Amino acid sequence: MDIPQNFLLAAQSLDDFDSWQKLVSLTENLPTKDDRYPVKISQGSPDTLKRLLFIVYENLLTNFPFCEQYWCNYASWKYKLGDTAQEVTEIYLKALKFLPKSLIIWKNYIHFTLDTSPSPETILDTLEQARINIGHHFYSNVIFDPYLDFLRSSGRSKEYHLLLRRIIELPLYHYCKYFQEFLRLLEKADIESIKYFISDEDLKTYFKGTSWGDLLSSDSLRDLKMRLKKQFTDVFIATQYQVYQIWPYERSLKKQFHQPGKLLSRGELNTWNSYLVYLEAATLRDKDQKSSIGKATLRTVYERCLIRTSDYTYFWLKCSNWRLNMNQLEEAKQVLLKGIYCTRDSGFRLRLRLIDLDILSGNLEDAVDLAVEGIQSSPNSLEMTIKLIEMENLKDPTNVLTLTELKLDEVKGSKYESQFDYLFREVLTYSQISVSKLESFFRKYTKSKKNSYQYLRALIDFYRCYDQNGKGYEEAMKMIEDSDEGIRERIKRFVSDDEGEYFEVAKVR
């Protein structure tokens, strides 16, 4: 079957997300004469059209992996068109491996598991994994509600109580309703269920003189409930305070999903940054249990932020720096690696940072591979070339000048020549290169009448430091005198007063 013409038209601008959306919309429907009455593709549709739909989704998610809802739509279509529940589960797991803190994907995955899995253990495992990964999300009620419903309907009373006990300490949007449910359970607790609220150790530590046998008395049980209610009310107040602190940030973040190619407002970017700064500071202040909750909340907000701001290298660098501050070098590198291959790191900021971390951790070969890969994608990047030369200096300093000359010869006569003349100044920073080799290096380009600003400035710097008899320095000054007036004026800005007088005399002559 031939691919319909309107499909081909939509596929012509694959860098444009709007074109991808149009292509998805077309492939989700059967081709009709005028497209006025679209009919959704179904399990009985031609295999060619079903394969085409899957190919479009797979390629879209390769190009735009942060589009959470499209992962869910893809999984939904696979199930509708005949794939097994296990095959669809693999799609969700693949999505969650890339976006482990995605509330949208976890929500859909949970509902899919509840609808399709006959195994209570599988459902429970999925719900618990969701709690571990996304339980500190401000809007995680979408996973806690089905989790609690499942525990209640399956008669897991102890687990129900313990989950609520965890939830009431988390700063969530719906924190009040969970605390009210927790108090309701406390009010109804009997001699058996009261053990879900207090352990043997806590009973001995905080309620001295009270034993489980004493609780057989209704008065003793009522007294314990009142004392527990007071303690848990203190927990509620602490949680309420945390919610009040973060609510101004959450309230300002109207959209929290990825929109490829859409510029975010300065206000939204500032809100994300301020939110992260606040949580980092709060985490440093907290101690003990509060600290672990704060760190998990911060980690979740960072992941949420990167989904929304994935086109902005600033936040990738910020997240990596935070990981470094936590002494998590490998995690910091993984953040950068993900940013490099999933976003447009056009200025190589993420790649250069990752190279530095690889060098720091002793992985010089990995760093070289990253630099070579960067140069292959952008051969005329001065920053990547300098980084490659830096690493060559670490491996074998004797090759630095050779590598530099090769690049200078490569760009000679091109529009990039003046840009790469900065390499003349760069080689002066490598102490392992002998003075005689540097002098020969500069002489080669002096003979070829090289007179760019970067070259002449490097030449002056070299002879300032290493010219013993002053002849080379005078020769360099004469070259500057014969250069363009613009170059003379630029060099004059950084020379000493005495050298500046030389230019004034030269002008009079």
Confidence at residue 505, expressed as pLDDT on a 0 to 100 scale = 39
Q: Average the pLDDT over 52-60 and give the result.
A: 92
Instruction: Answer whether residue 105 is part of any domain.
Output: no
Question: What confidence tens digit (pLDDT) does each residue in 1-47 have?
Answer: 566 665 666 667 667 888 888 889 888 988 776 667 778 899 888 89
Domain extent at residue 449? 429-509
Rounded to 5 degrees, what angle do the CA atoms 184, 188, 189 make?
115
AA identity, residue 240: Q
Residue located via tokens 């200096």? 393
Strands 39-40 and 29-30: antiparallel
Q: Average the pLDDT over 314-323 and give the result.
A: 96
> Is the pLDDT confidence value at 413 over 70?
yes
Tallying the residues shown for the chain, one arrives at 509
Task: List, in order, residues 6 or more apart from 87 with CB less than 8 Å away.
Answer: 78
3-state secondary structure 349-403: HHHHHHHHHHHHCCCHHHHHHHHHHHHHHCCCCHHHHHHHHHHHHHHCHHHHHHH
Report the C-alpha gap between 485 and 507 in whole angstroms.
10
Instruction: Answer whether residue 443 is part of any domain.
Output: yes
Instruction: Answer whether residue 467 is part of any domain.
Output: yes
Confidence at residue 306, expressed as pLDDT on a 0 to 100 scale = 96
Confidence at residue 139, expressed as pLDDT on a 0 to 100 scale = 96
Backbone angles phi, psi at 91, to 5 degrees: -65, -45
Helices (H), 195-312: 200-206, 218-252, 266-285, 288-308
Report the C-alpha gap between 379 and 373 in whole angstroms.
10
Question: What confidence tens digit (pLDDT) does each residue in 103-125 have?
Answer: 999 999 999 999 999 999 999 99
Task: List, in order, residues 6 or more apart from 143 with CB less than 8 Å away.
Answer: 103, 106, 107, 110, 127, 130, 131, 134, 135
Q: Average the pLDDT over 224-248 and give the result.
A: 91
3-state secondary structure 87-100: HHHHHHHHHHHHCC
**383 neighbors 352 (Cβ within 8 angstroms):** yes
Token pair, residue 177, equals 């309703």
Name which residue leads in pLDDT, 205 or 340.
340
Instruction: Please tell me which of 43-47, 168-172, 479-483 the model is most confident about, judged by mean pLDDT.
Output: 168-172
Residue located via tokens 């190279």? 355
SS3 at position 229: helix
Count of alpha carbons within 13 angstroms of residue 121, beta-carbon side: 0
Instruction: Answer whether residue 466 is part of any domain.
Output: yes
What confidence tier does 293 reach under pLDDT thresholds 50, 70, 90?
confident
Buried b (16+ CB within 10 A) or exposed e, 290-317: eeebbbbbbbbbbbbbbbbbbbbbebbb
Instruction: Answer whether residue 90 is part of any domain.
Output: no
Instruction: Answer whether residue 250 is part of any domain.
Output: no
**164 neighbors 130 (Cβ within 8 angstroms):** no
| Torsion sign, CA atoms 457, 459, 462, 468 | negative
Across the chain, mean pLDDT equals 87
- What single-letter DSSP state applies at residue 78? H
Report the C-alpha gap between 313 and 349 in whole angstroms.
7
Confidence at residue 499, expressed as pLDDT on a 0 to 100 scale = 52
What confidence tier does 425 reach under pLDDT thresholds 50, 70, 90?
very high
Q: How many CB atoms lie within 10 A of CB 231?
A: 14
Instruction: Answer whether residue 453 is part of any domain.
Output: yes
SS3 at position 301: helix
SS3 at position 247: helix
How many domains does the chain fold into?
A: 1
Question: What confidence tens digit (pLDDT) does each residue in 275-287 have?
Answer: 999 999 988 876 6
Task: List, in order, residues 6 or more apart from 276 with CB less than 8 Å away.
Answer: 298, 301, 302, 305, 318, 322
Percent of the chain whose predicted confidence (pLDDT) is above 90: 56
What confidence tier does 506 reach under pLDDT thresholds 50, 70, 90?
very low
Confidence at residue 410, expressed as pLDDT on a 0 to 100 scale = 92
Question: What confidence tens digit (pLDDT) does each residue in 173-214 have?
Answer: 999 999 999 999 988 888 777 778 876 666 656 565 565 555
Instruction: Answer whether residue 157 is part of any domain.
Output: no
